[in-house]
Every structure is written in C-alpha cells, then in structure tokens.
Copies of this chain bind each other. A is one copy, B any other.
Amino acid sequence: MSNQQTRTTARLREMILNGAFAPGERITESALASALGVSRTPVRLSLSVLEREGLVSSEPNRGFRVEAYSIGDISDAIDVRGTLEGMAARLVAEDGLAPHTAAALEDCLEIGERIIAKRAITPGDASDFGEMNGRFHKTIIEACNNKALENGLDLTHKMPFVEPAVIAIHDTIDGQQQMMVAQHQHRLIFDALENGEGARAEALMREHANVSKQALNVIGASIESGEHSAPPSLRLVTS
C-alpha cells in the first residue's frame, strides 16, 4: 500500500475508533475527503479496507455506514486471537519446533527474564516487554506457514488492544503483574512446544490471550473513573 493511502486508512480507523462518528452514521466520501485534505479516491480505498475490518459496512450505491462497536467486540476479537494462536501453537508443537524458531523464542524468553528481574520497571521496560511479546507471538504464528491463519490473525490485530504488543502499557502494579504472568506463560508455552505437547500448547496459548483481556479491563476502568485522559483509540471504551 502506498504512503498516502496507508495514512488515510490509519487516520480514518482512528477517527472511527475514537467515536468521531455516531454508530450507524452514514459517511459521505466527499465530506470526509475534504476533511482529510485528500481526494475521494484514497478515501474510498480506505473505506473498503475498513469494511473488511468490520468497522464500516456498505450497500451498493448507498455508501458506507460506521458499524456500532463496543468494548465487548474487542473482547470477542481477543477470544478469536486466542483461539487462532492456540491453533498455531498446537501446529508448531505437532510439527516439531524448528531450531531457528526455538532460538527466536528463547531469545524472547531471555529478554523477558531480564526485564522481570529488575526491581523498578521503567516505562521503557514495559515498552520493550511489549515488543518482545509481539515477537514471541509472531514467531509462533509464522512458524506454521499457514497463510489463512496469518490472514485471520492479521484481521483481529487491526482492532485496538488486540495485538499482543499492547500488553502492559501502564506502569501500575497491574501492569507489572501482567508482565510476570505473561512471562511465566511464555515459559510454559515454550516447554510445551519443545516437548511436542500440542494440546497443552494450545490450551496455554488460549489462556494466555486473557492477559490482554485483563489489560483491556484495567484500561477501561481507569478511563471510566476519569483517572486517565483517553489517548487516541481509547475513547470508544467508554461508550
């Protein structure tokens, strides 16, 4: 995808997730185009992308509407991610853990270990942990060589808070605890993969996705209590 195109899609996605449109509201392409300072062409493309992500819907000759959208939908998407990643883990375990995959995962484990071992955890650490977490998951997914699986997971990742990397954004106690739990689960998952325990790997991976759900709850609660201002892509959780 081209540069301008990508930016327009990202901006539009953020607008929708931020609640810039009422649920069910019709989107007129020309208005949106002038609002974003581009022509209708990239807007149209973007809307079609977002339709695939389920953020808008369209009818022939009648344009696009924004879909109603709740925090429950995000939670549902996390469930789907957990299920698909569980499948991925099972496949990897059953097919045998390839050496370079094992090495990549062990690298992730080691990084996590170092972060957890620290007494005081800085925001930078949390961000590093998130990056590592994303890589851990990505490594397992790509090890499957299953295009349909990757496509399906890519779809879920388009929703806010669903991608594994957004774990533990806060420097709160909850965030620390979630990191420690996640790290522990990573170790167990790796063990299952190494030993070819498919069913166990699947179950662990599924459960692992609940960490993201907990993070989602923490964020939702902190916003509702007015404790935090809502950064981009967060306002929707209050609706």
Contact = CB atoms under 8 A, between A and B. Distances in A.
B76 A87 contact: no
Interface string A132-150: 0000000000000011111
18 contacts: A1-B58, A2-B61, A3-B60, A44-B45, A45-B45, A53-B151, A54-B147, A54-B151, A76-B147, A80-B87, A80-B148, A84-B152, A148-B156, A148-B159, A152-B152, A152-B155, A152-B156, A155-B155
Contacts of A155: 148, 151-152, 155
Interface in A89-139: none
B54 A148 contact: yes
A79 B146 contact: yes
B44 A152 contact: no
Given A45-B44, A60-B3, A52 B54 contact: no
A73 B147 contact: yes
Interface of A: 1-3, 6, 41, 44-45, 48-49, 52-54, 58, 60-61, 67, 73, 76-77, 79-80, 83-84, 87, 146-152, 155-156, 159
Contacts of A87: 79-80, 83
Contacts of A49: 48, 52
Contact of A80 (B1, B73, B76, B84): B84
B80 A152 contact: yes
Nearest to A156: B148
